Amino acid sequence: MIIQIITFLFILSVLVLVHELGHFIVARRMGVWVEEFGFGLPPRVIGKKIGETIFSLNLFPFGGFVKLHGENTEDSITNPKKAFLTRNPSVKALIVIAGVVMNFVLAVTAFAIVYSINGVPRNTNQVKVIETREDSPAALSGIKANDIVEKVDGRTITKNIEFIQYVDERRGQEVKVEVKREGESKPLTLMMTPRESPPEGEGALGVVIVDSEIYYPPWWKRPFFGMYYGFKEAIFWGGAVVMGFISIITKLFSGIFPKDVAGPAGLFVITSEVAKTGILPLLNWLGIISVNLAVLNIFPIPALDGGRLLFIGIEKLFGRRVLPKVESWLHLAGLGILVLFLLSVTFREVILIKDLGFQGYLDFLTQSSAPQ
């Protein structure tokens, strides 16, 4: 359990520190005074000033923060030329969005490393059978694992989707499937009838097929392939997370508490289970969480980066800032709402974990999110 807790805190710390590093780098580049870069959360245990910034080690050993000069109110500004609030909207927007960008970059990098080591998918332009379900139409027809589906009713098949769509259109009707089998000089013709109501978890024919393979490029090409597929993976998860958050917000406004939301306890359970399977799955999970954090932060909710961008946009549109004290109070209110939501999710999670156990709760999360 101690190792699981350390792993979980390490993952969270990496995510938060990379996010804050984005703010730090861009603020420094834009001439904004970074008063402190903190590792962990206050109170401060030790700090060392390098240049104009204090780098501190804090008591609670997870996460981190960046303190910008004049970030929230004008009262604390002693150097207006280097204050965050006095900069033009474009500069402030760049500083705010830098954290989100860094989380996305972290996700792409994590996925890229996984793809570089595990290989990348490559289309084979042929549909290969890898498994048949017992007593299914495919199994009864004599089709076997490693058979290559070449034609269905005389139509050439090169992709899974072509095979699936055609078969679904012929449910209840006999179809002729031509397959190429290893050791056979000529294609075999097999007759089978797609089921109209297949068992849950099975298709109309009861056959598992693939139209791609894992490709291992030469070592010097792997980083490039890894970055390409890592970027695609990050975009995919980004879209999935956006749709998930929209669903959550829609349910909340409808008075329905979303059941498939994982809070801190849920993340701990999932991280603990993923860590058992090895470094690469854990790295992949880090990428997924990093995308989640990036998307969450960009939503226009006070207390988040997206909320700050919203106020910067208002300033840009109307040519004047929202009163810093008003903005500060709104951010505080937004933070309160987020904390209350987080506490309610955590309370519900603790009850479920107590009733179902770690594995039972993990299965619950998996089943809840399966339709999405």
The pLDDT of residue 343 is: 85
The pLDDT of residue 368 is: 46
Give the pLDDT band of residue 216 (cuts 50, 70, 90): very high
**Rounded to whole angstroms, how far apart are CA atoms 282 and 150?**
39
Q: Can you give the pTM of this predicted structure?
A: 0.83
The pLDDT of residue 270 is: 87
Query: What mean pLDDT do residues 358-362 have?
Result: 71
The pLDDT of residue 369 is: 40
How far is residue 372 from each of residues 176, 320, 330, measured CA to CA in Å? Answer: 34, 43, 33
Summarised one tens digit per residue, pLDDT across range 242-269 is: 988 888 778 777 777 666 677 788 888 8
Query: What mean pLDDT do residues 199-209 have?
Result: 91
Summarised one tens digit per residue, pLDDT across range 305-318 is: 999 999 999 999 98
**Mean pLDDT of all residues in the chain?**
89
Residue that is written with structure tokens 């004008």 in the block: 74
Give the pLDDT band of residue 351 (cuts 50, 70, 90): confident
Backbone angles phi and psi of 8, in degrees to 5: -65, -45
Alpha helices in the chain (DSSP H): 2-29, 89-118, 137-141, 160-169, 222-253, 264-275, 279-298, 305-318, 324-369
Give the pLDDT band of residue 342 (cuts 50, 70, 90): confident
| Residue 151: CA count within 13 A, CB half-sphere | 9
Percent of the chain with pLDDT over 90: 62
Q: Where are the domains of the chain?
A: 2-118+223-369, 120-215
How crowded is residue 324: how many other Cβ atoms within 10 Å of its Cβ? 17
Summarised one tens digit per residue, pLDDT across range 12-68 is: 999 999 999 999 999 999 999 999 999 988 889 999 999 999 999 998 877 889 999
The pLDDT of residue 298 is: 92
Nearest to 205 by CA among 187, 244, 227, 179: 179
Alpha helices in 146-278 (DSSP H): 160-169, 222-253, 264-275
**Rounded to whole angstroms, how far apart are CA atoms 152 and 133?**
20
CATH number belonging to domain 120-215? 2.30.42.10
The pLDDT of residue 325 is: 80
